[in-house]
Structure 1
Amino acid sequence: MNDVASRAAAGEPETLRSAAASEDPERRWLEEVYQRGAVQLTVRAVIVGMFLGAVMCLSNLYVVLKTGWSLGVTLTACILAYAIFRGLGVLRVSRRDFSMLENNAASSVASAAGYMTGGGNMAAVPALFVLTGIRPDTWSLVVWFAVIGALGVFVAIPLKRQLVNIDKLPFPTGMATAETIRALHEHEGGEGNKKAQLLLSAAGLGAVIAWLRDAKATWMPFNVPAHIGLPFKLRGVEAAKWSLTLDGSLILMGVGALMTFKTGWSLLLGGMLNYAVLAPAMVERGVIETVSYKAIVQYTLWPGAAILVSSSVLSFAFQWRSIARSFSGITAIFRKSKGPADAAPDPVAEVECPSWWFPAGFLLLAPVVVFLMGALFQIPWWAGLIALPLTLVTGVVGGRMTGETDITPTKAVGPLTQLVFGAMLPGNMVANIMGANVTGGVGLHASDLLTDLKCGYLLGGNPRQQFVAQLFGLVAGAAVVVPAYNLLIPTADIIGSADFPAPSVMVWAGVSKALSSGLGGLQPAARVALVVGFALGIGLTLLERWAPARVKPWIPSPNAIGISMVIPGANAIAMFTGGVIAEILRRRKPALAERTVVPISSGFIAGESLMGIAIAILVAIGVLSK
């Protein structure tokens, strides 16, 4: 007997049930969307999700150190999970179909692992290494990342029902993932297979190019050039020394293709202004002593960081309605409603995470966070306690803003947290950096789980099982990202080089240095650059918000301008190139672009980044030379 029939037999009239469902969105979801008894969190979904999450985490690590962007992994993960089980089915290794909800569970695991590079993790820890030489041992750092991520997951529990079930915030990435999973599984063997083939073919091409470019050994027949210099000079110096070259990286083109066209051309504009106008002028004045990327970026870091921080904080402030609603959500977490509503049975209690999981998880993990802050980074226990309510604020605010805009405000929340710790512990750069890592990590992982839960909500999944899936992903991501980071960055001088510009690291380090040590220690030219960059970030943000609609597309993106002052000019050129190709395709062949841009770009990124890590391993064991 099915569920509807059993309740009818128990004497509940259909009309009464329909009326109750129409008045209660949660009951309506439970009766009309929820897939009761459907297979979801299976062992194979967890294993594949952890594997894909680890792969995406490695890819994201490489991309973050190259470009400063941390890319979404859920769309790529659900396509790859589908492809894996289609292949296993053809080979008759797997005899049971891989369901939509299993794919959703696997994507949740992969997402939690892939985002282990975000939330300040791969900005704060390298920044700490650059500024202080402090580098926690591998397992301590694994535990640090996993605990921060888990705290974010528990913070998401009391937010889910309000933001997803009741307010029905869009969470655009969650909606896109749900639509992708539906398309893959409802058109079995058609569009899904084509996307998977495109992704894997592009990954193979990216891997081959990375090998031919970066694998150095006497037995290698040849290497393709990493850069091709542009045929002109600036102030008598070749363009290549100003970092203005054509870069032989498909990663950068893939990243550019996944951006908006506005971001792409803003990167090119900022890169040209930075390396063809500002840097030569500063060299002529003696502010920049030598013409090299590393020497230039030591100065241009300051206006770039100011643009990023001021524009992010102002954009964050413009979302004051979301922030106000978020704070009302914080009070709701600790407030129990009373009255007749409490007497009615909770329609989704059987599938939602029990309300007591949040306080239990918070009480369990909070002391661990405070202990690790003291043991690993010598942050006073009282400062650690102050960080805990900030994590709740960033989790709640980040969750709502991600739901409404698809942007998690880590760039804005990080500097605000650094400002708090700078005031509490002036001169303590370690506390400044790692305190912001805690709040940024919690906000990101809470927002990531809520995005995944939106996808599950649309597909009729079980949120309690998705919560558990997220924890598996955190373990996989933390266990993979730390050893890989140690392998890629054996010494601090690699960070900020042309090979690994790590712009987010440089910005995090610059902000930490300024907020903890004061601006008085900076050169006068750097202080002027900070003021100009701060004003430019505010001005561009105000123009983006208030300019006439016909003008807005031509206003440069402040985030892109800020990043362009920290990455090599070659990176800006390559990302713009990828963006132009994708934009032409979107305008002339929109249906073709819809089918090809994401899988091909994701394949380029995954293939080249994973081969880059493989080459680093071969160099470490002596098979290849540097």
Structure 2
Amino acid sequence: MAIKELSDQRIREWSVAQKDRWWLENVYRGDMPQLTIRSAITGMFLGGLLSLSNLYVGAKIGAGFGVATTAVVLAFAAFRGLSTIRLGRDFTLLENNAMQSIATAAGYMTSALISSLPAYMAIIHHTIPMWQSMCWIIAISLLGALFAFPLKRRLINDEQLPFPEGRAAGRVMEALHSDEPGEGLFKTKILAIAAGLGAVVETVESGLLSARGKPLTFSSLFESVSAWISRRSINGHALKELGVGFGWNTTIFAVGGLLGIRIGLSFLVGAILNYCVLAPWIISLGDISMRAGRSVYDVRAWSVWSGAAMLTTASILPLLIDWRKINDAILGLFDRKRDRDHDPLRQIEVPARVFAIGIPLVSVAVITMGYCFFDINPLMGLIAIPLVFLLTIIAANTTAHTGQTPSGAMGKITQLIYAGVAPNTITTNVMTAGLASDAAISGSSLLQDIKPGYMLGAKPRHQAIGHVLGIIVGSIAATMVAYRLFFKTYIEKGSTEQWPMPSADVWQAVAKVLSGGVSALPRSALYSAIAFALAGLVFEWLRRASKGRFPVHPIGVGFAMVIPYAASFMLFAGAFTFWLAGIVIRRGGLRRVLVDNSETLCAGLLTGASLAGIVIAMYQEGLFGELLSALGIRV
């Protein structure tokens, strides 16, 4: 069973209606079981579990990653095992797809919990009730999904953009359910072994193991490199002071393997440009200072504006070029006759009335919650609604090409806007920015989990329902754990070595800087943002003109401006490792593992490391003891 896809020529030349008719006739599987009770329950269980994985990663490095491939293989393995012992039957292909829609949505429900919410609580110096956080996250996530679904027709049906994580999940599902004997079991073994390896590495990295009184970690292997770096300097500034360093991180390495060499190389280019070229120069101008209590320059506080500018222009340019398609899509929401005459998928796509009714209703709910929970002026909440749509477009386009959503950069765009319309209101700055960016993340994750369904012939309506289920379960599970593990410590102590919470730190810092208005930004940051905005336009135009052959991707360069140097380097290292394996290893079992199943391998590493990290953290915080005590078990 091979996935049927349009050729590049047909993608370029056919109309949307032609592509939709072809999909309906050649790919659609309307008679196959999809969103069943067991697929819904399995998706909610795995989604809740994997949302904790993303919560851990976010607290460590301020980012989150997709869980679709991991959920797909775990569900397949579970039901294949039940089928073997005659306690159940195998998942169908599209049941597995419906399950991953739920799990993917749940996995992305951690953004607000590692950024805007802890930043807000730290500013006001107390925690808000847990139920308020849950309701807020669910509401803004639903709003983002409602804005995003109309974009599906352009990004997925028409342009056939890759959405790397979603595409990987589709390929894995196709292989698991293929007629080739043993393929599904082989992928399951790879995932299990990789997850075990990732868990072992994370356990070692946690410092639980020691030798001669010193923690024994894989990062210690980089000590000689770090020592060499500490002796080097640029313009009189030590590389270590500039934030240039190396350290092992299994999750980021695995993500690099998923992104590929072009994006990985772009991250490295952006990191070198930011930390080794621009930072020394800007420090000499006096616009970058040391972090409080640390001998490291806060480069990202300055460069975040440049990165956000490049990400924005590179994402908006394709929309400007294709403005006619966007116009047609908007008109199609209101032209019922046109929809009946020209839409081959009108019976299976989510009806336009859902968005026409849902967006105003959920918007009112979000504005009301913002006023009641966070004292946000309703007018400021109203201004955030169109920003949700704009940022959803940016997030969806970025995610379509890289598999990653620039949540931090999008938040800074909104914070900058509110610095102009509502200066000197720091809490409004944080929470309105969180509203817009977190809603956009939910929207982009919806399109990410819709992609494999389109590849495999699933019903879009079933996936939309699954996404809503995932939003609910992921919000509840992740919020409960975040309140127990992170929030109290962060409010009292701020960033710690165990829980750096870098995203929340950046949100706080930016809000404090901008509370006095846009003029508070250094002039060099504004000039650099303009330059990078123009560069984003040029790079994206060159990439499109060369049909993807241009070696540098503006999304990767822009993203590298807003994350640590070590993270960009590890992303490049992961991408380079698997790219090199594809060139060097030509045949045999090793190629089957490292090249043909690299996506499954990377997903296993990421999942094992992150889940081990959250379990270790719960153990160190004494939460297991509390749980046993609550159950009446004494240890």
Residue 446 (structure 2) aligned to one of 449, 459, 463: 449
Q: Give 1:553 deviation, angstroms.
A: 6.3
Match of 1:336 in 2: 335
Pairwise CA distance, 1:61 = 2.3
Q: Paired residue for 1:588?
A: 584
User: Please, which of 418, 423, 428 is the counterpart of residue 426 of structure 1?
Assistant: 423
Corresponding residue to 2:461 among 460, 464, 480: 464
Task: Name whichever of 612-621 and 386-395 sits farther off.
Answer: 386-395
Aligned Cα RMSD in Å? 4.2
- Bigger radius of gyration: 1
Please tell me the residue identity of whatever aligns with 2:529.
F
Greater CA drift, 476-485 or 126-135:
126-135
Q: Which residue number corresponds to residue 608 of structure 1?
A: 609
**What is the aligned partner in structure 1 of residue 227 from structure 2?**
231
SS in 1 for 2:217: coil
Secondary structure of 1:385's aligned partner: helix
Alpha-carbon shift at residue 362 of structure 1 (Å): 2.9
Change over 3 Å in CA distance of 1:535–1:255 after alignment to 2:
same
SS at match of 1:491: helix
Q: C-alpha deviations, 1:146-202, integer Å up to 9, x for none?
A: 11112233334555556655x364354444433332221014553332222112111
Which of 32, 38, 48 lines up with 2:32 in the alignment? 38
SS of 2:355 mapped into structure 1: helix
Task: After TM superposition, give the deviation of residue 139 of structure 1 in Å.
Answer: 1.8
Change beyond 3 A, Cα 1:190–1:125: same
Shift of residue 603 of structure 1?
1.8
Q: List alignment gaps of at least 5 residues for structure 1.
A: 1-21
More displaced 10-residue stretch of structure 1: 185-194 or 98-107: 185-194
2:383 matched residue in structure 1: 386
Matched residues in 2 for 1:346 and 1:277: separation? 52
User: Which of 161, 164, 174 is residue 170 of structure 1 equivalent to?
Assistant: 161
What CA distance in whole angstroms lies between the structure 2 residues aligned with 1:505 and 1:388? 22
Aligned to 2:7: none
How big is each residue's C-alpha offset from its partner over 1:114-166, in whole Å with a ceiling of 9 and x where there is no partner? 12234x6633334434555464332211111111112233334555556655x
Summarize deviations over 1:269-313 as a string: whole Å, max 9, x none: 66567777887899999988879995525x312332122122112
Stretch moving more, 450-459 or 475-484: 450-459
From 117, 121, 124, the counterpart of 2:110:
117
Task: Confirm or deny: 8 A CA contact 1:146 1:474 kept in the other structure.
Answer: yes
Q: CA deviation at 1:521?
A: 4.9
Letter in 2 for 1:64: G
For the pair 1:440 / 2:437, whether they are aligned, the reply is yes
**Alpha-carbon offset, residue 107 of structure 1:** 0.7
Give the direction of change, closer, same or farther, for the CA distance of 1:107–1:124 in structure 2 (3 Å limit). same
Supply the AA of the counterpart residue of 1:469: G
| 1:53-132 to 2 correspondences below 5 Å | 53-94=47-88, 96-118=89-111, 122-132=114-124
Q: Give 1:83-482 correspondences, 5 Å limit.
A: 83-94=77-88, 96-118=89-111, 122-133=114-125, 135-160=127-152, 164=156, 167=158, 169-173=160-164, 174-187=166-179, 189-214=181-206, 216=208, 223-225=215-217, 227-228=219-220, 229=223, 230-232=226-228, 233-234=230-231, 246-265=246-265, 267=267, 294-297=294-297, 299-321=298-320, 324-325=323-324, 328=327, 331-332=330-331, 335-338=334-337, 348=345, 350-395=347-392, 413-482=410-479
User: CA separation of 1:407/1:335 partners in 2, compared to 1, >3 Å: closer, same or farther?
Assistant: farther
Secondary structure at the counterpart of residue 319 of structure 1: helix
Provide the rounded CA distance (Å) in 1 between the counterparts of 2:217 and 2:571: 18
Query: Does residue 541 of structure 1 match 2:536?
Result: yes
Which amino acid in the other structure matches residue 259 of structure 2? M
Structure 1 counterpart SS, 2:108: helix
Tell me by how many angstroms 1:509 deviates.
4.1
Contact 1:252 1:571 in 2 (8 A): yes
Equivalent position SS for 1:356: helix
Q: What is the CA distance between 1:318 and its match in structure 2?
A: 2.1
How many Å separate the matches in 2 of 1:558 and 1:170? 15
Partner of 1:579: 575
Does the 8 A contact of 2:76 with 2:90 survive in 1? no
Query: In the alignment, residue 42 of structure 1 is paired with which amino acid?
Result: T
User: Who is 1:516 aligned against?
Assistant: 515
Structure 1 pair 329–125 and aligned structure 2 pair: CA distance change class (3 A): farther
Task: Return closer, same or farther for 1:193/1:221 CA change in 2, 3 Å cut-off.
Answer: farther
**CA–CA distance in structure 2, aligned partners of residues 261 and 248 of structure 1:** 19
In the alignment, which residue of structure 2 is the partner of 1:19? none
TM-score, length basis structure 1: 0.80
Relative to the length of structure 2, the TM-score reads 0.79
Q: Any stretches of 5+ residues in structure 2 without a counterpart?
A: 1-15, 626-635
1:377, distance to aligned residue in structure 2 (A):
1.3
Q: Percent identity?
A: 29
Q: For the structure 1 residues 218 and 581, does the alpha-carbon distance in structure 2 shift closer, same or farther, using more than 3 Å as the test?
A: closer
> For residues 473 and 367 of structure 2, what CA distance do their matches in structure 1 show?
23
Deviations 1:74-132 (A, max 9, x none): 223222222222222233332x22110101100110111112234x6633334434555
